[in-house]
Amino acid sequence: MALAGEYAAMCNQTLIMTKPGVTLKKTLSGAPVPSKRVCFSALKLKNYHKARLGVKAVTQIEVGSTATTEGSRDLKGLEGTLELDLVSEGELREKGFMGLRKTKLVCTIGPACCSLEELERLALEGMNVARLNMCHNTREWHLDVIRKIKKLNDKGYCVAVMIDTEGSQINVVDHGAPSSVKAEDGSIWHFTAEKFDGSRPLTVQASREGFSEGDEVVIDGGMATFEVVEKIGNDLRCKCTDSGLLLPRAKLSFWRDGELVRGNYELPTLSAKDWSDIEFGVSEGVDFIAVSFVKDAEAIRHLKSHLSTKSAKLAKVLAKIECVESLQKLQEIVEASDGVMIARGDLGVEIPLEQIPSMQEKIIEVCRHLNKPAIVASQLLESMIQYPTPTRAEVADVSEAVRQYADAVMLSGESAVGSYGQKALSVLRTTSSRMESWGREESMQAHLNQSKLRLSLSDRIAEQICNCAAEMANNLGLDAIFVYTRHGEMASLLSGNRPNPPIFAFTSDRGARMALSLQWGVTPLLIDLSDDMEANTEKTISLIKTKGLIKEGDTVLVISDVIPSCATQTLLFQSIQVKTVA
């Protein structure tokens, strides 16, 4: 009764309420819809001639056996097309509803996987999002990859594109060798911002003003360490104090008296190059923009408001959590963004490595509560850059991210430059699928409810619907959840409950479909939605049945948050129904 009471008190709208189990008679376009008694909630609202009664919001909770494909309704006008990607369709045919993988897979694209054939192999292997790290390679190269992915999507794949900004970091630009070089203990190196001609050159980006003698220079979070022995103008003369490898684009951090020197973070979150890369990404219609070294919510808000003036299709903005400031302002950053990447590479430079697993779990949990996807990134299968099998520890790391309910896991060098990118992706896929099914078998996924973080009534109703829907779907052992959603909001909200059955999100918005590629457990499908929810449901079930993907006796839970376009602006139609395919 809580929902009904709250609803009536706060909304002051006309409501139709009956006792539990009593069904209001109604017709929808003249078609009788049989409904059964359901011991589910004290509230049972029906879509009851809302226009006549002046009802602004209708919540319908209905459980019934409905002849969905044949018989009860005139299917004229219900023909249409349904875009389900090739890979999900194959997975569904082969393994059934419960075989659909929940954890999404992101691959960094680099020279090792940028041909059309290689990209297609990754798509077939389950890549949901292709990441382009703007730190590397040319504009033309990135453009070529984006165009190839569009080509694959035209063939029936559904791969979203993410660009990842370079951000303000100090990188090795040139260390005088084509690949990695070893720095020996006690050897002397020069760090310069200029092209350097002398011996042991190390050309690094950004100015090192403010750094002083005695500072420690740490390469790639500990691959090698140097001490600044002398400042010569704007250059630094450094002695290697801990030998190790210098990779071509290694990252540098400066430490003084055991504390990180924040000099490089005084640079803006988005540099002129980042803005130019973002313009490029927007003009190419990328789906996600991941912002490096986010320090507060302001940079994210600024970028989002900039994007909203740019084009109709809004790229989603992901905040990379990779510095201490982003941990300190985690909540506000997650709230402002459309999701996060837990960028463990740089994060591991800033906080002790042993803190990363617990920090990762905390970030994922904050994201789940705020209904934002979280990607776990960096070094998941690092050894596979060189070797065809992962270490046991790497497999355990991937499993842990899945157990923590990350929305997605990501490959970096493993796919970009590694010799076994496709195999690494297959390891991610099989490891996450196994962990997911084990979680279900052991009932570890029971009832992850949304907490009441949302403030508006309609948001809280949506949240309650998702809580109920997930609980019903799990308890009743339903086959699938169908969500009808214009902007993807309801589907992503439901994903937060991490229900057992797969979530099929039907949307007529291409951008919303792509954005859902990153959301745990959601298979996004493109379809024309009408204002008639019954018609939408019947049309989709009919089309899926025609494809042979759903059969008589399968049970689906149907949820909608579609706002009919013909209705008043404020009219909301939110419902839960259980349908048995006839």
Ligand X SMILES: C=C(OP(=O)(O)O)C(=O)O
What residues make contact with Mg ion under the rule CB under 5 A?
A: 322, 343, 345-346
CB nearer ligand X, residue 340 or residue 493:
340
- Residue 412 touches K ion, criterion: CB under 5 A: no
> Least separation, in Å, of the C-beta of 251 and Mg ion?
7
CA angle 316, 317, 318 (to 5 degrees): 120
Closer of 204 and 462 to ligand X (Cβ): 204
d(CA 380, CA 374): 15
Partner that binds at residue 344, options Mg ion, ligand ADP, ligand X, none, CB closer than 5 to 8 Å by kind: ligand X
Residue closer to ligand ADP, measured from CB, 121 or 249: 249
Which residue, 348 or 511, has its beta carbon nearer to ligand ADP?
348
Binding mask 295-324 for ligand X (x = CB under 6 A): ---------------------------x--
Q: Does 413 bind ligand ADP (CB under 6 A)?
A: yes
Of positions 169, 225, 292, 404, contacts K ion by CB under 5 A: 292
Residue 143 binding partner per list ligand X, Mg ion, K ion, none, with a CB distance cut-off of 5 to 8 Å that depends on partner kind:
none
Q: Which residues have a Cβ under 8 Å from the Cβ of 319 and sit 6 or more positions away?
A: 290, 291, 294, 300, 326, 333, 334, 336, 337, 339, 340, 341
- Cα separation of 323 and 264, whole Å? 12
- Which two structure tokens, joined as six digits, stand for 184? 């020996």
- Which of 235, 322 has the CB closer to Mg ion? 322
Say if CB 109 and CB 131 are below 8 A apart: yes
Angle at 222 between CA 220 and CA 226, to 5 degrees: 95
Give CA torsion, residues 302, 306, 309, 313, to 10 deg: -100
Residues whose CB is less than 8 angstroms from the CB of residue 92 and which lie 6 or more positions away in sequence, other chains included: 99, 100, 549
Query: Which of the residues 147 through 166 are near ligand ADP (CB under 6 A)?
Result: none
Site string for ligand X, 340-369 (x = CB under 6 A): ---xxxx-----------------------
Q: Which does 343 bind (CB under 5 to 8 A by kind): ligand ADP, Mg ion, K ion, none?
A: Mg ion
Residue 52 CB, nearest distance to ligand X (Å)? 56
Tell me if 143 contacts ligand ADP by CB under 6 A. no
Q: How far is the CB of 295 from ligand ADP (least distance, A)?
A: 18
For residues 431 and 448, give the distance between their C-alpha atoms in angstroms, rounded to a whole number.
22
Q: What burial letters (b/e) apply to 81-99, b meaning 16+ CB within 10 Å?
A: ebebbebbbebbeeeebee
SS (H, E, C) 403-434: HCCCCEEEECHHHHCCCCHHHHHHHHHHHHHH
379 or 508: CB nearest ligand X: 379
Task: Provide the minimum distance between the beta carbon of 472 and K ion in the complex, in angstroms, as a whole number.
Answer: 42
Binding of ligand ADP by 205 (CB under 6 A): no
Tokens coding 565? 């376009």
Q: Under a CB-based contact definition with an 8 Å cutoff, are residues 263 and 276 in contact?
A: no
DSSP one-letter string for 345-383:
HHHHHHS-GGGHHHHHHHHHHHHHHTT--EEEESSTTGG
Smallest distance from the beta carbon of 338 to ligand X, in angstroms? 17
Q: Tell me the closest approach of the beta carbon of residue 437 to ligand X, in angstroms.
A: 28
Q: Which residues bind K ion (CB under 5 A)?
A: 133, 135, 164, 292
Q: Which residues bind ligand ADP (CB under 6 A)?
A: 108, 110-111, 133, 135-137, 249, 345, 412-413, 416-417
Q: Which residues bind ligand X (CB under 6 A)?
A: 133, 135, 164, 292, 322, 343-346, 377-378, 412
